Amino acid sequence: MAADLLVPETRVLAVASHVVYGYVGNKMASVAMQLLGCDVAALNTVHFSNHTGYRQFKGTRATAEEITALYEGLTQSHLTDFDVMLSGYAPSAAAVEAVGVIGMDLQRNAEKNPGSFFWVLDPVMGDQGRLYVNDDVVPAYKKMIHHADLILPNQFEAEVLSGVRITSLSTLAEAITAIHAIYKVPHVIITSVQISNLSPSSSATAAPPANTLTVIGSTTRSDGSPRLFRVDVPALDCYFSGTGDMFAALTVARLREAVFAADPALRTTKSWVSPDDVPATALPLAQSTVKVLASMHCILEKTMEARNAELQAAVISNGEVLSEEERKKEEHLRESKAAEVRVVRHVQFLREPTVEFPAQEWNKEDLPAQFR
């Protein structure tokens, strides 16, 4: 890989889960960022054998004290000159708070140099209408999000954070507007919304086909209004774990690249917020999202091909007779393994994806009334 294919030098502190086998959490995020040239420090919040989607795993969780101690280890040896922090899953409210303290400390150190530190926060709380963390994790996130520069909730997490039930394009825009307003967080991306599941809010918007995933992003203007863009990507008929982590990691690398490619003043602007006259689709956040989704689409497509081939291959039975329940369990394990994202063998799609899905402006009709 030629050096000119790498993103600008970026020192990242990545705080998330570690799994021995497979690609989720920091295991996914580290390799994705490293393959694009980032220098990654990985602070692992859990040490599991595999991701929980297998429905069984072994391992241990780091306590808040252990997370804090690791960070103290870094500070006492002056190893905290990070450009970006990416924080993901932490296994308890106390652990989430410990991660928050780290983010705030790094932010304080960078205070005199606006733009020299950027915090990407993935508020991992749940999905598909259901929390998969303890209830007390929600207020822990709500307290720390106003320190983050970019948050990456999924649709459910955006509802939890905004208090807005997302049922249409305009309620989606309302949720993002509320997140900007409540938490003063300048950049938001809602990952993977199925627009076809939402009620049409305007006849002007041709809803994308059912098998489309939409990613919605926004960078605030100085008056607090959202600058909304959307990117539609064909959905693949397969469930993959770790795609949220992959999205977040690639966004770290690509957003920094886009900011370095923009007007040099942006790099020294607090939170990398573009001037008001930059339209939504020209935002570094939009440009980054386009590249990230292009890479992910290619890699997930390759993963699905490999997965299908693996699942079609004959299973060598060891002669055991399995109950229906055991058979289903074995099938689920096999499917989970086959769907592990193939990131390492497809570096070229990380670097130079072969398709791109454009960032689109929103129709005015789909914006909340005050912004039409």
Task: Give how far Cα 256 sits from Cα of 171, 178, 276, 287, 299, Å.
Answer: 30, 26, 19, 11, 21
- 113 near its own copies, rule: CB under 8 A: no
DSSP state of 9: P
User: Which range binds its own copies by CB under 8 A, 43-51, 212-220, 277-285, 353-361?
Assistant: 43-51
What minimum distance in Å lies between the beta carbon of 204 and its own copies?
Answer: 44
- 131 near its own copies, rule: CB under 8 A: no
- 34 near its own copies, rule: CB under 8 A: yes
Which helix H or strand E contains 39, and what residues bound it? strand 39-48
Name residues contacting its own copies, limited to 293-352 (CB under 8 A).
Answer: 333-334, 336-337, 344-348, 351
Three-class secondary structure of residue 95 per DSSP:
helix
- 1 near its own copies, rule: CB under 8 A: yes
CB 296 within 8 A of CB 247: yes
User: Given candidates 27, 221, 230, 291, which one binds its own copies under the rule CB under 8 A?
Assistant: 27
User: Given candidates 16, 31, 133, 160, which one binds its own copies under the rule CB under 8 A?
Assistant: 31
User: Which range binds its own copies by CB under 8 A, 13-21, 91-99, 154-162, 190-198?
Assistant: 13-21
Question: Binding string to its own copies for residues 48 to 67, with x set by CB under 8 A, is what?
Answer: xxx---x-xxxxx-x---x-
CB atoms near residue 228 (< 10 Å): 25
Tell me whether residue 6 or residue 101 sits nearer to its own copies (CB atom): 6
Beta carbons within 8 Å of 200's beta carbon, 6+ residues apart: 168, 169, 207
Spatial separation of the C-alpha atoms in residues 63 and 219, rounded to whole Å: 34
Which helix H or strand E contains 130, and what residues bound it? strand 130-131
Spatial separation of the C-alpha atoms in residues 299 and 315, rounded to whole Å: 25
Phi, psi of 49, deg, nearest 5: -70, -35
- 86 near its own copies, rule: CB under 8 A: no
What minimum distance in Å lies between the beta carbon of 186 and its own copies?
Answer: 28
Beta carbons within 8 Å of 351's beta carbon, 6+ residues apart: 1, 5, 35, 36
What minimum distance in Å lies between the beta carbon of 215 and its own copies?
Answer: 27
What minimum distance in Å lies between the beta carbon of 173 and its own copies?
Answer: 39
Spatial separation of the C-alpha atoms in residues 249 and 30, rounded to whole Å: 8
Tell me whether residue 72 or residue 276 sits nearer to its own copies (CB atom): 72
| Binding stretches for its own copies (CB under 8 A) | 1-3, 6, 9, 13, 18, 20-22, 27, 30-31, 34-35, 37-44, 47-50, 54, 56-60, 62, 66, 69-74, 76-79, 333-334, 336-337, 344-348, 351
